[in-house]
Structures are given as C-alpha cells and as structure tokens.
Amino acid sequence: MQVDIVSSRGKVAVQRFSTKNPVFVCVISHTATSEIPGLTIAGANPELVQYTPAADAEFLYYGSCKCISFVPATPDGKPTPAVITRAALRHSGIPAFVVDAGAKVKPSMPLISMNVDPGRNIASANAMDLSTVHREFEYGVLIGMQLGQLSDLVVVGESIPGGTTTALAVLTALGFDAKFKVSSSMPENPHELKNRVVASAIARAGATPGGIDSPLKAISFLGDPMMPAVAGIAEGAMSAGVKVMLAGGTQMTAVLAILKLLNRPLTRLCIGTTSYVTKDTSSDLNGLVGQIAPQVPVLSCNLHLDESGKPGLQAFAAGFVKEGVGAGGVSLAAMLKSKKVTGRKLLKAIEKEYETSIEAPRTSNVSLSHP
C-alpha cells in the first residue's frame, strides 16, 4: 500500500487503480473567458496567459519551451506544475501525448489535433457551437478507444487557464452547487469574481442555475473546448475496458458531471490530484464529487513539496498553483505503477527537474546579461 496516496473511498479504491502501463494525455485549450482581468494567474502577465498551454506542452517533451523563451510561471515566478508532471513521466517511463483542443498558440511538437477553435468568452457569447462539441466528444472517444487498447490506465490532464470558471458555469447550469467550491491557482481564490462572471454568463445564455439538462448543451453555452475532449477520451478508454483517471482539480468535476449525465457507467473512473487541492480550504473537490457521483474515488498524492529547499516548489504546498498539466494524476500513476515510488522519491526527481530546467537556465541567463 502506498503511504503517500489518500483516497476518498478507502484503500480498496487505490488498489483498483493499480497499473502496469499507464499513459498520459494532456489536453491543451484556450477559453477567452481567461482574458477577464483577475480570473487567472496562469502566466506571468495577461498577454502571456494564452501561451501557457503551448509552453506547458512543450515543456513536457523538451524540458524547455519554444513558443516563449522561459518556463510558464505566475507573475511572481512560481513555475508551472508541468515541472512535476515531466519529472514523474520520466522517473517512471510513462508515455505522454498532447491533444490540441482549441489551443490559441500551437506548441512546436507533434499534436493530436481535435480541429477546434479556442472557446469564446462565456460572459459575452456561447463557448462553442453544439455541433463542434459533439464532434470533439466523438473524436475524443476515438482517441480513447485506441489508447485503451495499449494501456490499462489512461490518465487525462489539462492545461487551460481560466478553466475553473467555465467549470463553475457548467456545474451551476447543470444543477450542482459549486459556488465557493472550485479551486484557484491563487491562494486568495477570487470566488466573488467567478460567481459574478458565471451569473452573467448564465443570464446571457438565457438559462438558469440547474436549468440545462443536456451536458453537451451546457458545454456549448458555458463550457470550454477542454471539456468534450477529456470527456470523450475518458468515455472511449472506459468503453475499451480500461481504467481512467481524470487528472486535475475541480475543473475535472465538470467533466465528471458530463459523463454522469450522459449516463456513462463510472466504475472504472477516478479523479487524481495533489493533496494541495484536496486539502485546500478555499475549495471543495471532495464535496463536489460527492454531489455528482459519490461512488467515484478522489485519489490524491502527497509530494512533500513543503520539505523542499526550492522556494518555487514550496510555493505549491503553500497554496500557489496547486495542480495543473496532470501533475497530481501523473505522480499518482507513477506510484500506482510501482510501490517503490513514494512521494519523497518523486520529490527528489522533481527537485532535479527543477534544477535542470528552472534554476540552470535562470543562472545562465543572468551570466549572459552580466558577462
């Protein structure tokens, strides 16, 4: 039994998700909702937010970024959780694919393309056409079915700045009580702003809280292009008979709600995240899952980042960033693949990755500018 995995449904649920050959799929997307000032800090400044998904994806494969000359970070320099994801992938030999589901900036790497545009700002327009939502879900199913023939656990993560706001909107429209429950990349969760945006978006769509019963229609009105891709991939892999982990924080509860309301059997599904999300007092992942599909376990991993000497990693434990790019889910997959992989072993790998890709380039930049 892995000491660093906590499950909302007991130890049996952890054992059920043991894996021999997990695969990670990272879905990158953009919603113009993220351009509303104050909603996200997934980028050093508002202009850079749109580069974050592409830069995250490039970081996974290359350990550096191509679309920007540095690693994505918050305005005060806290690095992307892709540092954790990449360390766990490499430590445990887990393959990764990147799905482009409406990324605004395209990363320089091979991409599984869903052929969709970025999502519109839900405060002012429907997020996506309903036909696009349907098509993207179907494409996701096809991808999930292929991966489900190669792997026993498909871990699906995301990088979409602003995604907790669209998640809140979709959950609310579908009748779940998600106010003050979605998480944030900031320690001061801007709940009031999110609630205002969502209330106006629901009114703009001519809907009411709980007034939409079709999950794909809810995405079309109020969601983002990440949602149908992740839901479809999960559905496809489950239909191929394998297990699926939705790797992320409260954004993934919107995907869970979609699958639940599509009447999909959820016995092979779990949510996987970091303990920084499940212990976050400004959001309530377990409460959300309990409302939507209480039988689905929430697994979380303790990566002991509070014990790190690296300030950029300590920050995760202090409530910054917390999760993203499947960091928690891929760390869990590494642990579920081998009992020898503990949180502290991963911490060492993460620190090494941090030294190579965050600290070393920073030092060499300094020496370049001050020769």
Q: What sign for the dihedral angle of Cα 232, 238, 242, 245? A: positive
CA distance 125 to 285: 28
Residues numbered 21-50 forming contacts with a second copy, rule: CB under 8 A? 21, 23
- Which of 140, 312 has the CB closer to a second copy? 140
* Residue 147 lies near a second copy (rule: CB under 8 A): yes
Residue whose CB is less far from a second copy, 145 or 285: 145
Minimum Å gap between C-beta 61 and a second copy is 6
Q: Under 8 Å CB-to-CB from 223, ≥6 apart: which residues?
A: 119, 122, 127, 128, 133, 166, 167, 169, 170, 254
Closer of 3 and 150 to a second copy (Cβ): 150
Cα dist. 328→88, 315, 331, 346 in Å? 9, 15, 5, 11
Using CB under 8 A, which of 6, 9, 13, 61 touches a second copy? 61
**If we measure between CA atoms, which residue out of 279, 280, 278, 281 comes closest to residue 289?**
278
Instruction: Give the one residue of 69, 75, 117, 150 binding a second copy; rule: CB under 8 A.
Output: 150
Question: How far is residue 75's CA from residue 79's CA, in Å, rounded to a whole number?
Answer: 10
Q: Residue 97 Cβ, how far from a second copy at the closest point, in Å?
A: 6
Task: Pick between residue 103 and residue 201 the one whose CB is nearest to a second copy.
Answer: 103
Residue 140 is a binding residue for a second copy (CB under 8 A):
yes
- CB nearer a second copy, residue 150 or residue 262: 150
Sign of dihedral through CA atoms 290, 293, 294, 299? negative
At its nearest, how many Å lie between a second copy and the CB of residue 93?
6
Cβ proximity of 289 and 296 under 8 Å: yes
| 147-155, 186-194, 219-227, 254-262 -> range binding a second copy (CB under 8 A) | 147-155
Q: Which is nearer to a second copy, 105 or 266 (CB)?
A: 105
Q: Is the separation of the CB atoms in 106 and 116 below 8 Å?
A: no
* 143 near a second copy, judged by CB under 8 A: yes
Using a 10 angstrom Cβ sphere, with 0-12 exposed, 13-18 middle and 19 or more buried, the burial of residue 101 is buried
The answer to whether residue 142 forms part of the interface with a second copy (CB under 8 A) is: yes
Q: Which residues pair with 73 in a beta bridge?
A: 79
Closer to a second copy at the Cβ: 257 or 341? Answer: 341
Q: What distance in Å separates the CA atoms of residue 335 and residue 33, rounded to the nearest whole number?
A: 35
Site for a second copy in 62-121 (CB under 8 A): 93-97, 99-100, 106, 108-115
Q: How far is the CB of 105 from a second copy (least distance, A)?
A: 13
Q: Which is nearer to a second copy, 48 or 94 (CB)?
A: 94
Tell the smallest beta-carbon distance from residue 244 to a second copy (Å).
Answer: 16
For residue 153, give the H/E element and its range.
strand 153-159
Distances (CA, A) of 286 to 57, 201, 230, 254: 28, 26, 20, 13
Q: Interface residues with a second copy (CB under 8 A)? A: 21, 23, 61, 93-97, 99-100, 106, 108-115, 135, 139-140, 142-143, 145-147, 149-151
